Amino acid sequence: MRVKRMLAGTCIGGLAFLLGATKLWTQPPQPSTGTATSKMAEQVYKNIQVLKGVPADQLIPAMQFITASLGVQCDFCHQESAFEKDDKETKQTARKMMRMMFAINKDNFDGHQEVTCYACHRGEHKPVITPVVTSIIGAEDGKSDSGGKLRVESIDATLPGADQIVAKYLQAVGRAASGATILTLVQKGTLTVGAQHFPVEVLAKAPSKRVTTVHFPGGDSITGVNGDHGWLSSPGHEVHEMSPAEVDAAKMDAEVFFPGDLQHFFKEVRVQRKEQVNDREAYVLAGLRNDQPAVELYFDKESGLLVRMLHYVETPLGLNPTQIDYGDYREQAGLKTAFRWTIARPSGRFMIQVEQMQQNIPIEDNKFAAPKSTP
């Protein structure tokens, strides 16, 4: 169960494996017609009081933001199989805290989302209200805290331009020299979470098609994206339709493996700074898109390869971050691809190690069709 919970809260978009065991998925929706994206939360879920008027497909990401901010699980506030009940005092407190947060932002920040649950809780269900004495003044945890917002500090004039960094990346993966590109990928390997290992298969096709299947003892967990449509499925549970923000994240994760298209995914790419990644210097670029949080791309200064991506999914309460580290680049057919990637969220992390890969083999489009929900 611990493994399932870690994976269920780890990452909503592509390269993410949310299991049907996620308790929020089992909350029975109110009978309705039409899609969740066309309805508000109170029209789909029972006993919604604070988040009325929020699109229904944003409710689950919002709940995941709370669990990550407080370091708790769903049953901290909810009764299992009876999510609509108000028996737990913590649920009432959570409602008060959301109202307080909305009021602070409205009264002090013109409604902008400057204060969130995490601003005070920092992964603890009770906020720390007394300063902590540390042995090192100004010690940091090394994690980015840009929150998807473009940093405004002055840019070092000695840094190379964004075009130079992207060009070096394309040269590093072999595309610039050969002119070759990757159109499809078939990858097989192992997903590792904690000390447990599970077989995993990935099918990908440009543009923005990707299906990842993890073979668990109790059945397959599948995460898929096909253009503007994304889903997650696991045995014994209804297919979960991704929200637009989740689909956007899944598409972005898929595009990383098609380097020829990466620079076209963003409206603009700006150089931000230099930063250490695994004891090596990396250039950090901010990828900008319309009305979306900035994406941070980390390129190794020496090799030019992409070593990290940090992106966010917007929720009504704050931004859910996902950090993906890439490594074990190997050359095949003149092109280099990461054979290992580690996906980290506030609630946990897991790693995928590819053992076999085929490039540019035919994959039929029906392989990326969403499964039908079982009645």
Q: What is the DSSP string of 200-230?
A: EEEEEETTTEEEEEEEETTEEEEEEEETTEE
How many whole angstroms separate alpha carbon 261 and alpha carbon 269? Answer: 13
| Average pLDDT in the chain | 78
- Work out the number of other CB atoms within 10 angstroms of the CB of residue 141: 5
DSSP for 245-305, written as a single string: HHHHHHHHHHHTT-HHHHTTSSSEEEEEEEEEETTEEEEEEEEE-TTS--EEEEEETTT--
d(CA 328, CA 307): 10
How confident is the model over 227-250, as pLDDT tens digits?
888 888 888 778 888 888 788 888
Tokens in use for 74?
A: 């769903």
Q: Is the pLDDT of residue 280 over 60?
A: yes
pLDDT (average), residues 60-86: 84
Higher-confidence residue of 201 and 19: namely 201
Q: What is the pTM of this model?
A: 0.74
Residues 237 and 361 in one domain: yes
- 143-180 pLDDT, tens digit per residue, is 445 566 655 445 567 889 988 998 899 889 887 555 56
Q: Which of 70, 96, 121 is where one domain is finished?
A: 121
Give the residues across from 325 on adjacent strands: 308, 342
180 lies in the same domain as 314: yes
pLDDT, position 353: 96
**Cβ neighbours for 315, distance < 8 A, ≥ 6 positions apart:** 58, 61, 62, 64, 65, 245
Same domain, 195 and 339: yes
- Residue 105, Cβ neighbours under 10 Å: how many? 16
Please give the tally of structural domains in the chain.
2
- In three-state secondary structure terms, 167 is helix
**Token digits of residue 128:** 């720390």
Residue 283, Cα to own-chain centre: how many angstroms?
Answer: 21
Residues 191 and 328 in one domain: yes
Residue 128 inside a domain? The answer is no
Query: 69 is written with which tokens?
Result: 């901010």
pLDDT confidence of residue 24: 36
Inform me whether the pLDDT recorded for 369 exceeds 80. Answer: yes
Same domain, 203 and 317: yes
Question: How far is it, in rounded angstroms, from Cα 194 to Cα 329?
Answer: 23
- Does any domain span residue 200? yes
pLDDT on residue 291: 76
182 plus 61 within the same structural domain: no
pLDDT attached to residue 18? 35
Q: Which of 25-34, 58-67, 305-314 has the highest mean pLDDT?
A: 305-314
Quick check: 67 pLDDT over 80?
Answer: yes
Tokens, residue 77: 């506030």
Burial label for 151, CB within 10 Å (0-12, 13-18, 19+), is middle
Residue 357 lies in a domain: yes
Rounded mean pLDDT, 113-139: 70
Answer yes or no: is pLDDT of 136 > 70: no
Residues 72 and 184 in one domain: no
- 27's CB contacts (< 8 A; 6+ apart) are 45, 46, 83, 84
Q: In this structure, what CATH number is given to the domain that contains residue 174?
A: 2.50.20.10
Amino acid letter, 90 = T
Residues 228, 364 within the same domain: yes
Are both 109 and 207 inside the same structural domain?
no
Among candidate residues 68, 98, 121, the one where a domain is terminated: 121
- Asked if 277 and 345 sit in the same domain, the reply is yes
Residue 53's DSSP bridge partners are none
Domain-located, residue 270 = yes
Residues 167 and 115 in one domain: no
Q: Which of 94, 121, 148 is the last residue of a domain?
A: 121
- Does residue 62 lie in a domain region? yes
How large a percentage of the chain has pLDDT more than 90? 22
Check pLDDT > 70 for residue 66: yes
Kindly state whether residue 206 falls inside one of the protein's structural domains: yes
Q: How far apart are CA 117 and CA 75, in angstroms?
A: 18
Identify the burial level of 371 via C-beta atoms within 10 angstroms of its C-beta, where 0-12 means exposed, 13-18 middle and 19 or more buried.
exposed
Structural domain span for residue 97: 2-121
Is 15 inside any structural domain? yes
For 75-101, the pLDDT digits (tens) are: 888 887 788 888 888 888 888 888 988
CB-facing half-sphere around the CA of 289: CA atoms within 13 A = 17
Does 173 fall in a domain?
yes
Considering the domain architecture, whether residues 86 and 199 belong to the same structural domain is answered as: no
